[in-house]
Amino acid sequence: MTDIHPSSIIKPGAEIGEDCHIGPYCIIGSDVRMGNHNILHSAVVLDGRTTIGSDNKFFHAAVIGSASQDLKDKGDPTELIIGDNNTFREFCTVNKSANMDHPTIIGDDCLLMAYSHVAHDCRLGNRVILANAVNLAGHCELQNNVTVGGMSAMSQFVRIGQYVFIGGMSGINKDIPPYVRGVGLPFKVVGINSVGLERAGFSEESRHSIKEIYRIFYRSELNVSQAMEKTQELKPFTPEQEIFLEFIKGSQRGLLT
């Protein structure tokens, strides 16, 4: 049975699943579609064309699905899609997309800590962690299992590969390939995310193959084109090496070193 505090406002047309808890002073807009077992603690705002899965937790004063802050936003009925089992801590903000091309997307099992911000048209994969006060500009893409340290910021259209670890207070203005770690303002890649990969169950052989291709791009003093040619010596590529190379081939902003 869904429990709704009498001080909360549920606008006509909103759809709320089973066994949800909606605490005091929450506001749910008429275009919100919410699945089962979601918890809104207090003063949470869910707005816009927002579709939410199940088992999500929204803490005090989180604002989810609000209009983008893009000056080019024409007020179209754009969208935000959120998966399952995510946690949005206090004062977290997530904007819906700025245009109709594609929605803002947050996958499953993500943790967005207090004061973090996800701007319009961003795409977060599964098991992404944004620590306190992380700010993502529009159109950023964070693939699965990315961790971003507190008070870090990303420019528009930045892509972050899977299993990347970003230290706190970093500034990111270009793409970061999968499996690496780094920190700084500006950001500097310092090595492989060895601890994260081991915890995630990557075999020793897989981690070794990642180190091989990492050394070519980050320890050989070759430019990107030369490094791509050098990697042909590694054939046949492991699955991890293929993922690394495909990410680099798809980079539009260039790579951070």
Q: Which of 29, 83, 138, 182 is catalytic?
A: 138
CA distances from 242 to 116, 145, 163 (A): 32, 18, 15
Best CA proximity match to 249, nearest among 219, 217, 216, 224: 224
Q: Which two tokens stand for residue 77?
A: 């009925």
Q: Among the options 121, 139, 175, 182, which is catalytic?
A: 121
Is residue 141 within 8 Å of 104, Cβ to Cβ? no
Contact 62, 91 (CB under 8 A): yes
Q: Which residue type sits at 156?
A: Q
Asked if 167 is an active-site residue, the reply is: no
Structure tokens at 137: 């500009």
The residue behind tokens 């203005």 is 173
Q: Which pairs from 47-53 meet CB under 8 Å and 24+ separation?
A: 48/78, 48/79, 48/80, 48/96, 49/77, 49/78, 49/79, 49/80, 49/96, 50/79, 50/80, 50/81, 50/82, 50/96, 51/79, 51/80, 51/81, 51/82, 52/82, 53/82, 53/83, 53/84, 53/85, 53/108
Question: Are β-strands 135-136 and 57-58 bridged in parallel, bridged antiparallel, or unpaired?
Answer: unpaired
Whether 208 is catalytic: no
Instruction: Give me the catalytic one of 70, 120, 167, 175.
Output: 120
CB-based contact 132:91 (threshold 8 Å): no
Active site residue 138: yes
Tell me which residues are annotated as active site.
Answer: 120-121, 138
